[in-house]
């Protein structure tokens, strides 16, 4: 919000300067007209982007239509210039991930996903989003690990090859981010929790072999 106020003050100041240039006349008048046109285009740009337009990524995330003032910001993952912000909603008791699109000027946020908190579990995904942007598919995860014996989290392909991995830090959520290429089979990739011996202990998703798929069962399961 502060960025928008600064922008408005700046535009007002420029407008005052344009008025003075216009009064001087001559070449100054032409310059004033060019700047005035640029200001009109800037206003149209901001209006077109909508109410979530802000000058910082976090401010844009907090201006997302699904984020309220009581939501608690818990972290952010940056990937290829774009940002994924994670929030906790204490009223609905759920986590939310908000995508923030980096623009030529500023940021905007129109996409969000909700997550069941699964408070009873010792390993929980508290932020995630899969999305396509400019022909590329992104996957980001923020995981809270309380389970003893888990050394790292890894995104693996159908052959078991590790695409991306991150060591677990007990003091803060673990982040995994990956940009899929044409060689990756996104639908056969899986996020897993591994111990120091390299053994897979847990996987994220629906339980293997389960035919009755329910949203609340999309979580971490033991192998």
- Mean per-residue pLDDT, 61-81: 92
Can you give the pLDDT at residue 12?
65
- The rounded distance, in Å, linking the Cα atoms of 88 and 95 is 4
Mean pLDDT of the chain: 83
SS3 7: helix
Q: Which helix (H) or strand (E) holds 96?
A: strand 94-102
- The rounded distance, in Å, linking the Cα atoms of 200 and 70 is 38
Confidence of residue 85 (pLDDT cuts 50, 70, 90): very high
Q: Which helix (H) or strand (E) holds 223?
A: none
- Per the structure block, which two tokens stand in for 31? 């310059």
pLDDT tens figures, 91-145: 999 999 999 988 877 888 888 999 999 999 999 999 999 888 777 788 999 999 9
- Mean per-residue pLDDT, 5-26: 59
Q: Considering Cα of 28, then 34, then 36, then 39, what sign does the dihedral take? A: negative
- The rounded distance, in Å, linking the Cα atoms of 106 and 52 is 10
Can you give the pLDDT at residue 202?
98
- Mean per-residue pLDDT, 22-33: 60
Is residue 46's pLDDT more than 60? no
Is residue 27's pLDDT more than 60? no
For the chain, domain boundaries? 2-49, 57-222
Which is more confident, 70 or 14? 70
- β-bridge partners, 28: none
**How many CA within 13 A on the CB side of residue 211?**
0
Task: Looking at mean pLDDT, say which of 26-35, 86-95, 184-193 comes out highest.
Answer: 86-95
Can you give the pLDDT at residue 92?
93
**153 within 8 A of 168, measured Cβ to Cβ:** yes
SS3 14: helix
């Amino acid at each position: 919000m502060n960025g928008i106020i600064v922008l408005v003050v700046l535009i007002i100041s420029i407008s005052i300067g344009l008025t003075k240039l216009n009064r001087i006349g001559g070449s100054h008048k032409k310059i004033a007209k060019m700047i005035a046109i640029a200001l009109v285009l800037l206003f149209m740009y901001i209006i077109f982007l909508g109410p979530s337009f802000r000058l910082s990524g976090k401010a844009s995330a907090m201006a997302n239509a699904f984020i309220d003032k009581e939501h608690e910001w818990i972290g952010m993952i940056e990937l290829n210039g774009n940002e994924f912000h994670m929030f906790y909603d204490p009223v609905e008791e759920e986590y939310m991930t908000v995508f923030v699109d980096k623009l030529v000027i500023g940021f905007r946020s129109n996409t969000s996903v909700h997550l069941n908190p699964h408070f009873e579990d010792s390993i929980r995904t508290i932020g995630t989003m899969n999305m396509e942007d400019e022909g590329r598919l992104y996957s980001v995860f923020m995981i809270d690990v309380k389970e003893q014996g888990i050394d790292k989290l890894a995104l693996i392909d159908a052959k078991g090859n590790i695409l991306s991995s991150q060591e677990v830090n007990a003091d803060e959520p673990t982040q995994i981010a990956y940009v899929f290429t044409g060689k990756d089979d996104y639908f056969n990739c899986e996020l897993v929790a591994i111990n120091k011996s390299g053994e897979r202990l847990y996987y994220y998703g629906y339980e293997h072999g389960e035919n009755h798929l329910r949203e609340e069962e999309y979580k971490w399961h033991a192998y």
